[in-house]
Amino acid sequence: MPIPLQSGWLYGPIDSRRYGRSLGVNPLPLDRKLCSLDCLYCQYGFTRAQEVVGRAEVPAAAELAAAFDREFARLAAAGDRPDRITVAGNGEPTLHPDFLEISRELVAARDRHFPGAEIGILSNSMHLNREDVVTALNECYDEPAMKLEWGSAECFAAMNQVSPRGYERVLAGLERLRSFVVQALFMRAPKADNATEAEIAGWLDNLRRLRPRIRWVELYSLDRPPAAEARAERLPPEELEEIAERVRRLGLEARRF
Ligand code: SF4
């Protein structure tokens, strides 16, 4: 069963296995997933891949900025200091049309209430053709965690249920980031399998191409059950470890979750 959507613009803090005490930021609608991909394994289940049509669809930047200040002040007063603030939420956060503005507001609120806390983001890497997104990721985020888990356009299209044309756009976009963390989920399903030898070899070529920008590579498999119709299966830990070993042989740090 997919998990429910986040019901607020801020959620947590929770103790995260990846990030310590982590406060979540959701700059997206509260009543549906809004994402430009429709991954077979999505924890929120299937929806048609969508883009933002108008600002009325998402919370206004000024409202989000006020919520950052209000909630950060409340947490600071309670002595609940996050190690990290992670922008993610109900889909793809960079889809917000005012992504740069809200990122700068978040940095300012962090500096006022939790100086030293890192700011991260989980992104699907699909919107690096937008100048404001590239500027925001390079300027405001300590460790942008960017999705990169395919070795071919065909696998990209099948796993994410979108056109294969986005694949080269993702690779070219990642070349515009100063540095980033790779997030790669491996799984098998009747419709797509990104753990075949051909896919892994292609993915390692992509890592080679982007190596100077990669801080480290995070590998994981299914954590929460996706939509049952996807019939997606978890990769055994020993297979994930073999892939991690191949990443290390490229001279990159691999972290397995
Ligand atoms: S990118 Fe993330 S939110 Fe979007 S469909 Fe894929 S797993 Fe779900």
pLDDT number for residue 2: 66
Q: Whose CA is nearest to atom 1 of ligand 1?
A: 124
Distance CA 94, CA 132 (A): 9
Whether ligand 1 lies within 6 angstroms of the CB of 35 is answered as: yes
Please report the pLDDT score of residue 1 as a whole number: 54
What token pair was written down for 99?
A: 């992504």
Q: Which atom of ligand 1 is nearest to the CA of 41?
A: 7
Pocket lining: 173 vs ligand 1, CB cutoff 6 Å: no
All structural domains of the chain with their residue ranges? 10-256
Residue with tokens 């100048």: 131
* The CATH fold of domain 10-256: TIM Barrel (3.20.20)
Q: In Å, what is the CA distance from 163 to each residue of 150, 154, 249? A: 14, 9, 32
CB 149 less than 6 A from any atom of ligand 1: no
- pLDDT tens digits in sequence order for the chain, 257 residues long: 566 777 789 998 989 877 889 999 999 999 889 999 999 999 888 888 888 778 989 999 999 999 999 999 999 999 999 999 999 989 999 999 999 999 999 999 999 999 999 999 999 999 999 999 999 999 999 999 999 999 999 999 999 999 999 999 999 999 999 999 999 999 999 999 999 999 999 999 999 999 999 999 999 998 776 777 778 899 999 999 999 999 999 999 999 99
Distance CA 89, CA 31 (A): 12
Q: CB neighbours of 222 closer than 8 A, spacing ≥ 6?
A: 41, 185, 187, 232, 233, 234
Kindly state if the Cβ of 38 falls inside 6 Å of ligand 1.
yes
Count of alpha carbons within 13 angstroms of residue 205, beta-carbon side: 9
The pLDDT value recorded for residue 241 is: 97
